[in-house]
A = this chain, B = another copy of it.
Amino acid sequence: MDAETLQFHAALSDAATRTEAALADWLPPEDTTLGAAMRHAVLSGGKRLRAFLAIESAAIFRVPAAQSLRTAAAVECVHAYSLVHDDLPCMDDDDLRRGQPTVHVKWDEATAVLSGDALQTLAFELLAQPQGSIDPRLAVRLVLRLAQAAGAAGMVGGQAFDIAAETTAVPLDLDSIRTLQSLKTGALFVWSAESGAILGRSDPEPLRAYATALGQAFQIRDDLLDVDGDPEAAGKRLQKDAEQGKATFVSLLGVDGARQKAHELVSAACDALAPYGSAAGNLRGAARFVLTRGN
């Protein structure tokens, strides 16, 4: 590993440790089923790539760490809520997530619905709490943009689109898959990266462009891992896409075409970071990591 890659891994691990410690403080106690389920959903591991993006994009602008820890924790709450609801029997019906039983398996469906609901609420609460000393004008902008990224015109819209696509006879074409992915996973990546520019009172466009390309590369890698990944390392069932006859970047571009496309996207992501020079070293490391990650 080169020095920048090593530094990226240290930064990713540090972001995860700090975000998880903050979340452990900010989540409700586990003395109720609801609290225990929320903690299980959020604190059962994961790479914390979204938290890392929020923390590293803010670091470019020397935003105080107490502020970016809030945005990092908020986006991890939204991500965790979406996974809990996506795993429900009426949606993807997954029993395992990161090698652990999913919330509706460990408890029940009602607890999964409610703990997901309360995690979404917590994300907005974390952005609005005065303790982080985020300027209210910036906090409102973060709330607005997170709501747009997470709601009907973003993540939830993408999930609904995905479900609708499963029931139509014609498989999706490349443009539709790109749109679906940009809503379903891209929107939260983009919010994570732009949150740093919002806190830093800077133009969010370069970071949005970076995260748009990164999110798409991430999804392509996910599709590739579904084809040839190691289920034990992934901690979840694989080859679901092919079983379900689902159109993916891989089914449309082929394995080599998809790998090529991911490389191009990672180059584009790194190019978008040019304005920030060496301050964006860890974000460049993240882009390269997406190409090689094992699960």
Contacts and interface: CB of A to CB of B under 8 A. Distances in A.
A8 to B, nearest CB: 32
A136 interface: yes
A interface SS class: helix
Interface stretch (A46-54, A146-154, A245-253, A274-282): A146-154
Interface in A136-174: 136-137, 139-141, 143-144, 146-148, 150-153, 156-157, 159-161, 163-164
A113 B140 contact: no
A32 B157 CA distance: 9
A126 to B, nearest CB: 8
Nearest to A149: B121
A118 interface: yes
A128 B145 CA distance: 9
B121 A156 contact: yes
Contacts of A91: 110, 113
A147 B160 contact: no
Given A32-B160, A114-B159, A129 B153 contact: no
Contacts of A124: 124, 143, 146-147
A117 interface: yes
A232 interface: no
Contacts of A81: 117
Contact of A34 (B114, B118, B146, B156): B156
A80 interface: no
A117 B150 CA distance: 9
Contact of A151 (B33, B125, B139, B147): B125
A90 B117 contact: no
Nearest to A127: B143
Contacts of A148: 125
Contacts of A95: none
A73 interface: no
B140 A33 contact: no
Given A85-B113, A125-B147, 5 more contacts: A90-B108, A90-B113, A122-B152, A128-B140, A140-B140
Interface of A: 28, 32-35, 38, 81, 85, 88, 90-91, 108-111, 113-114, 116-118, 120-122, 124-125, 127-130, 136-137, 139-141, 143-144, 146-148, 150-153, 156-157, 159-161, 163-164
13 contacts: A33-B164, A34-B152, A90-B108, A121-B147, A121-B152, A125-B147, A128-B140, A128-B144, A128-B147, A130-B144, A139-B140, A139-B143, A140-B143
